[in-house]
Amino acid sequence: MALFKARRNRGTRSGRPDGVHPVDEVLPPTRMLAFGVQHVAAMYAGVVAPPLIVGEAMGLPPVQLTLLIGASLFTAGLATVLQSLGVWKIGARLPFVNGVTFGSVAPILAIVAQQGQHNALSVVYGSVLIAGVLAFVAAPYFSRLVRFFPPVVNGTVITLIGLSLMPVGIRWVAGPNPEAPDHAAPEKIAIGALTFVLVLLFNRFLTGFWNRVALLIGLVVGTLVAWPVGLIDTTTFESAPVFNLPTPFELGAPVFDLTATLSLCIVMLVAMMESTADMIALGEIVDRPADEKTIAAGLRADGAGSALSAVFGGFTCSAFAQNIGLVALTRVRSRHVVATAGGVLVLLGLFPVVGAVVSLVPQPVLGGAALVLFGSVATSGIRTLGRADLGDPFHSLIVAGALGIGMIPVVAPHFYEHFPAALRTVLDSGISTGCIAALLLNLLFTAMRGQRSEPTPAVGGDTVAPTNP
């Protein structure tokens, strides 16, 4: 990317045999571990946030809350390994990180409010199990959408993924609760800004291996600076058990409820749409375009990972777009690196005390780094749009319309608050609404172009050549 310094002979010293695609490259163990840990650091907050919110809403005691977080880490690791390495026709075999989708939080909280804390988790797990099976079965049919993703749609959706994630990074810097006394405190903004600048500078001036782990270095330096400021919370580390082995249905055996199941099936369909867009984006970034077969395999992994997650106490699994940004930023495209990250997540789930060490990274530090990652995703989308003819008025209208619709829930989260809950599951996702808008506008304008391109009968039976729009 133009933002970062170009380097000659990138990847030529990795020892990759001739003919091996960078996605399939197996790096030396130490580098693979360092790059994998960097992926975990980028996604850790996103994995633990949903179980933390749900657990607190249910009033779970600290021990059970720790088990719920550990189960989410453990199942995210299993889903990531399955997605990146693949088994049979399951797994995209791309550097694709899976974890708990935040889109499931609101429906799960609604289930908790309806069922009460004694039965809620069992109903949630039953619903997630069915939603996962649904995604697995529907994957080959859903994957056919890829034929409707020309560069103008691809670029718009990828750009929207990056832009829609920006508020997440900003909230991490300022704090999630606007009513808190320390919300957007100067020291938080200063630490976030420092991390943001450090990640940019490290990517610009470091070379070789150190350039590839620039994000990890920025997180470590930002955390060390935040320590004396008092932004590091050690309570999780102090209360975390050393070891816990997640066992099937330890937190609740599945119970099936029709309303709850329908709500999470809708969430799963939305997650499949976002995963499809993410796989297309990732395929563009790693120079291995995601075809229909790849997307079907990736969606099967989403479904299988979600069903497996329900068994071990996690929630619905889907793609983590911030890790796509990390691939774009570092240009480390090996899926085995992401599989290593999945292994690290499994270990964090097995050893909660180790996961607590990762949790010492304060959110302002994560937010500062995340802004660079999300900006990298948006930049990849803009680069893809460069391959589309934006001088074509139809193409420019597709981009304008889809970005306009997709940004509504990003800039105004309560815009659709009076709509039915089932519709809000889709409408509250800027990625989903923007993706649908881009697809529909492209189909509409393609049909209009076809009609206008038909020869027009002239006087005397001759035809007149069509004119360009």
The pLDDT score that the predictor gives to residue 451 is 61
Query: 463 φ, ψ to 5°?
Result: -115, 150
The pLDDT score that the predictor gives to residue 352 is 82
Query: 231 φ, ψ to 5°?
Result: -95, 5
Tell which residue, 370, 411, 299, has the closest CA to residue 46: 370
Q: Tell me, what amino acid is at 244?
A: N
Q: How far is CA 199 from CA 33, 223, 303, in A?
A: 20, 13, 35
What percent of the chain is modeled with pLDDT above 70? Answer: 90
The pLDDT score that the predictor gives to residue 111 is 83
Confirm if 371 and 163 have CB atoms less than 8 A apart: no
Confirm if 304 and 132 have CB atoms less than 8 A apart: yes
Dihedral (Cα; 283, 289, 295, 296), 10-degree rounding: -150
Q: Summarize the confidence of residues 74-91 as an average pLDDT.
A: 94
Report the range of poorest mean pLDDT among 138-142, 315-319, 427-431, 433-437: 427-431
Q: Is the pLDDT of residue 8 over 50?
A: no
At how many degrees (to 10) do helices 120-142 and 105-115 cross? 140
Q: Tell me, what amino acid is at 232?
A: I
- The pLDDT tens digits of the residues spanning 225-263 come to 999 888 887 776 666 778 888 889 888 889 998 878 888
Confirm if 267 and 425 have CB atoms less than 8 A apart: yes
Q: Classify the C-alpha dihedral 160-403-276-349 as positive or negative.
A: positive
Query: 299 φ, ψ to 5°?
Result: -70, -35
Give the span between the Cα atoms of 299 and 271, in whole angstroms: 9
pLDDT bin (cut points 50, 70, 90) of residue 117 is low
Q: Summarize the confidence of residues 402-431 as an average pLDDT.
A: 86
Tell which residue, 157, 464, 431, 124, has the closest CA to residue 264: 124
- The pLDDT tens digits of the residues spanning 133-160 come to 999 999 999 888 888 888 898 889 888 8
pTM, two decimals, is 0.79
Give the span between the Cα atoms of 316 and 264, in whole angstroms: 8
The pLDDT score that the predictor gives to residue 16 is 58
pLDDT bin (cut points 50, 70, 90) of residue 397 is very high
